[in-house]
Amino acid sequence: MKIENPNPIQWRFAERAEQLQSSFIREILKITQRPEIISFAGGLPSPATFPVEEMKTAFDKVLSNNGKVALQYGPTDGYLPLRQWIADSLSANGSTIMPEQVLMTSGSQQALDLLGKVLIDEGSKVLVETPSYLGALQAFSVYRPEFVSVDTDDEGLVPSSVNPVADGARLLYALPNFQNPTGRSLSVARRVELVETCARHGLPLIEDDPYGALSYSGEPYPKMINMNPDGVIYMGSFSKVLTPGIRLGYVVAPMPLVRRLELAKQAADLHTSQLTQMVVHEVIKDGFLDRHIPSIRSLYGNQCQAMLSALEEHFPAGVTWTKPEGGMFIWVTLPKHIDAMKLLDEAIANKVAFVPGAPFYANTPETHTLRLSFVTVPPERIRVGIAILGKLIAAKM
């Protein structure tokens, strides 16, 4: 039976929902996923690296040996053996992290939302890098903070620029390794200075680190959480080292905060899939990542090199770009008069795509910047795409 609506609903959304905006990147992905387009726009890891067979075997093993537990509701904080594994691997870097400090989340994106929910009031000062990860800006925006953009330069965030804005701020959100969107990394000296600065001001420092393992040389940077486990909140993810489709991430925080985050998670989704956590633990528990990650590093490192060589060859003088030592992104700065948003229209007409830089700025956007991702495009297509972009840019010089 179909019931009529004599009084059609006049939808009245909560104010926080009224101002929700779709991520610009997810919007342009819809266009750029067409196969004829050479897309440097996606932030997707390369599917060539997904360990399909290992996941299949692990699913089978978990369901055969422990199916009734895997398919039941689980604890909000997560599957203890996996939390123990995470605590042990972080502790190996120098300080002791307890499994009680680890909260498993549905992707590290959920950790951003929970952190926003627990730490940000309307109007709270939230310090972010210039530019920063769009997904974090989007997650925090729901809680209506006042974003304060902290200076960055070629070496990433400038710690001294935190001093004038730290007092009264609720948190500083930083991406020290192969940053999304710039590909930049923070030097060891700057990490120490940043952790010290935040500690001096009593300012919680969020270290978002989905790309840290993807250093092309294999040499990792020290983690800030190990420098001050009482003041740093660490976020990790299995998206870039295993597969993003399983939506598994985690946040490691001092005890008073992790308990609050757990309560917020309870209300949000009760817990992250127990089956997924058990399968991931089964895959990684005997050192699989130590064998697997080097192959990701080498694939991404080669494609990064292919893109850097193509940029050198095809981009005109006056354009500059970052030279990442790991991760998935290169950041390009055009001469100031070139608007990357307009360039994107022309690029798409010529079957190439990228992400304009403006949406990554919390405050004043630099419209002459753009982000290139090289991990899902083979080297021959990278060269063709960069040559096309180079011609379009040269015509505007």
Residues that bind ligand PMP (CB under 6 A): 43, 107-109, 133, 135, 175, 180, 208, 210, 237, 239, 244, 249
Please identify, using beta-carbon distances, which residue of 315 and 361 lies nearer to ligand PMP. Answer: 361
- What whole-number distance in Å separates Cα of residue 67 and Cα of residue 187? 46
**What phi, psi does 60 have (nearest 5°)?**
-60, -45
Please identify, using beta-carbon distances, which residue of 77 and 207 lies nearer to ligand PMP. Answer: 207
Dump the DSSP string for 209-240. Answer: -SSTT-BTTS-PPPPHHHH-TTTEEEEEESTT
Please identify, using beta-carbon distances, which residue of 131 and 229 lies nearer to ligand PMP. Answer: 131
Question: How many helices (DSSP H) and strands (DSSP E) are in the chain?
Answer: 14, 15
- What whole-number distance in Å separates Cα of residue 223 and Cα of residue 380? 36
DSSP one-letter code for 358: G
- What whole-number distance in Å separates Cα of residue 186 and Cα of residue 175? 8
Please identify, using beta-carbon distances, which residue of 49 and 180 lies nearer to ligand PMP. Answer: 180
**What CA–CA distances, in Å, run from 346 to 35, 106, 392, 397?**
18, 37, 8, 15
Instruction: Provide the β-strand partners of residue 39.
Output: 353
Q: How far is the CB of 211 from ligand PMP (least distance, A)?
A: 7
Q: How far is the CB of 237 from ligand PMP (least distance, A)?
A: 3
- What whole-number distance in Å separates Cα of residue 371 and Cα of residue 369? 7
Q: How far is the CB of 380 from ligand PMP (least distance, A)?
A: 26
Dump the DSSP string for 316-347. Answer: PTT-EE---SBSSEEEEE--TT--HHHHHHHH
Q: Which of 127, 134, 125 is nearest to 25 (CA)?
A: 134
Please identify, using beta-carbon distances, which residue of 208 and 325 lies nearer to ligand PMP. Answer: 208
Dump the DSSP string for 37-53. Answer: SEE----PPPGGG--HH
Q: Which of 192, 191, 209 is nearest to 136 (CA)?
A: 209
Please identify, using beta-carbon distances, which residue of 175 and 370 lies nearer to ligand PMP. Answer: 175
Token pair of 138 as six digits: 């989007």
- What whole-number distance in Å separates Cα of residue 283 and Cα of residue 44? 21
Q: How far is the CB of 210 from ligand PMP (least distance, A)?
A: 5
Please identify, using beta-carbon distances, which residue of 145 and 176 lies nearer to ligand PMP. Answer: 176
Q: How far is the CB of 54 from ligand PMP (least distance, A)?
A: 19
Q: How far is the CB of 232 from ligand PMP (least distance, A)?
A: 16
Q: Is 156 helix (H, G, I), strand (E, B) or coil?
A: strand
Q: How far is the CB of 13 from ligand PMP (least distance, A)?
A: 25
Please identify, using beta-carbon distances, which residue of 108 and 185 lies nearer to ligand PMP. Answer: 108
- What whole-number distance in Å separates Cα of residue 255 and Cα of residue 386? 48
- What whole-number distance in Å separates Cα of residue 276 and Cα of residue 289? 16
Q: How far is the CB of 107 from ligand PMP (least distance, A)?
A: 3
The CA-CA-CA angle for residues 282, 283, 288, to 5°, reads 130
Q: How far is the CB of 372 from ligand PMP (least distance, A)?
A: 15
Q: How far is the CB of 313 from ligand PMP (least distance, A)?
A: 28
Please identify, using beta-carbon distances, which residue of 314 and 327 lies nearer to ligand PMP. Answer: 327
Residue sitting closest to ligand PMP (CB): 107
Please identify, using beta-carbon distances, which residue of 221 and 315 lies nearer to ligand PMP. Answer: 221
